Structure 1
Amino acid sequence: MKIALFGNTSSDRDPQFEKYIFSVCEAIKRYPIHLYLPDMLFYSLSPDIQDKIRPMCILFDVTPPVDMAMSVGGDGTFLRTASIIGDMEIPILGINTGRLGFLADINCDELDDTLREIVENKYRIEERILLEIDTNDEPNPFGSICALNEVAILKQDTASMLSIHAYINGEYLTSYRADGLVIATPTGSTAYSLSIGGPILVPTSPSIILAAIAPHSLTARPLVVGDDSRISLKIESRSKHYLVSLDGQSQIFNEHTLIEVYKAPYTQKVVKRLNHTFFKTLRDKLMWGADLRK
């Protein structure tokens, strides 16, 4: 079996990150697994850790055709890993060294049991939809990047609110007057969308959420549409510009740029332990239904 290991390469990462990476590498090498590590991640580590893990792994520049990718960090690292994987259809396992961890939901103390289950083929794979955008600009500033969590239309800095004219499959829906609009996948329903009052969806449900950010109307409630919908947006801004973010990767657009958001032609495969369910994660991570008076 071949596994590629991904992690945060930035200089402001958790000081304990190198310890986590070394522990993961050591755990993987106890099993019949060929470990691959990106050059950028390897050379971001201290020389001491490099010397320790170099005999354990094969370095690469371009992601090889591995059986699985492993993301070590939080949900942000998982999203970056998904962006790198793209349409290669490589399933991702998230090892959580962060705080909440909806995508990266395997704790470090579960790693050994998880690896044993993977080698024994005792795990499941969930198919998660992604969102793709198209514009009337050429070329598309985002290229082939898709969003696993959400596409967010945002005002720039302290600019006035936006007027976002939305159409579903060519039919006029409404004009949102708000600080922005989040278009989220079911996976992203527990991320940005949740923080602005959007509904929680089961990650495999065939749906897309539209939720306004600080709407200037009490009637602008979140809306759930089918994942076969094509969402067209025309944005007006006093600053003549607005921001588009795909899972935190942002680009500035001119207000003359039209946006279309729709389901990508491929899915992201997410590795889950057999005893890890979405409802259990809701109870554990969000204390769903817990009576805090006790």
Structure 2
Amino acid sequence: MNIVLTGKNGQLARELQKRKPSNIELVALDRNDLDITNALQVMEVITEYKPEVVINASAYTAVDKAESERGQAFAVNAIGPENLAKACKAFGKGLIHISTDFVFDGQSPTPYQPKDTVRPLGVYGESKAAGEVAVQSLLPEAVILRTAWVYSAHGVNFVNTMLRLMRERKKLGVVADQVGTPTSTHTLAGAIYALVHKRGASGIYHCTDAGAASWYDFAVAISEEARQVGLLPLEKIVQIKPIGTADYLTPAARPAYSVLDKARLVKDLGIELQHWRQALRLVLKEKKVIEKIACR
């Protein structure tokens, strides 16, 4: 199977390249190879590579900057997916588009279902919701995969930021009144490849690891697990203080609760999602190996 993957250098795309099944030929493209906001270039790339499936891992993810860069956010998150959907429709190709929990307003008392009405709070969420609408309207058979709080051993993410701060400081304040689910790129990549091979998969799916946590819970777990695997000295106990959203104001509003219901994914793919803390432990062990190699 021939697949074109956009967003080559992002943390999810890197994981997809690393975990590629042997029966897949993967062409990973960065923005220099393919600018998804350029409709003509998208058509040319699909014509050249003739993929059976396109995985769109390209995204504008600067949540706060999006408030002042609305045009750029919509270009990448809405116009880009629209261009890909048009090209995939024209050539009869499949599309898996990655979306986000930020399409919701965080007011639900229970985990969000794929069918729930979207109500984004900021420009980033609005742009991702617009991308979903474009893909669904042009290519109903496409897969839209919503995820949340994504991290890996590489790149800029909450885990790597916390590790850096925990090495530098003795005290940290972390928001405790926003609840979601951390998601390892290991989990996400596995689900994406399962969807690639799932005949007839279409529509909206949700994918995160299992369980729920606040950012504060996540930070405490990072501290504890990192000390266990040797990324932080055992004696390095950082004081982590729970704070409220009101104590850490940002340009963009965040959903207070964005846990996603994964029942459809689990049922259709026949998979079992591991708890987010188990997934975190595996990623931190991987990061420890990477740091050991880097020190040689």
Answer whether TM exceeds 0.5 for this pair. no
Higher strand share: 1
Which is greater in Rg?
1
Higher helix share: 2
Report 1 or 2 for greater relative contact order, CA contacts < 8 Å, sequence distance ≥ 6. Answer: 2
TM-score, scaled relative to structure 1: 0.29
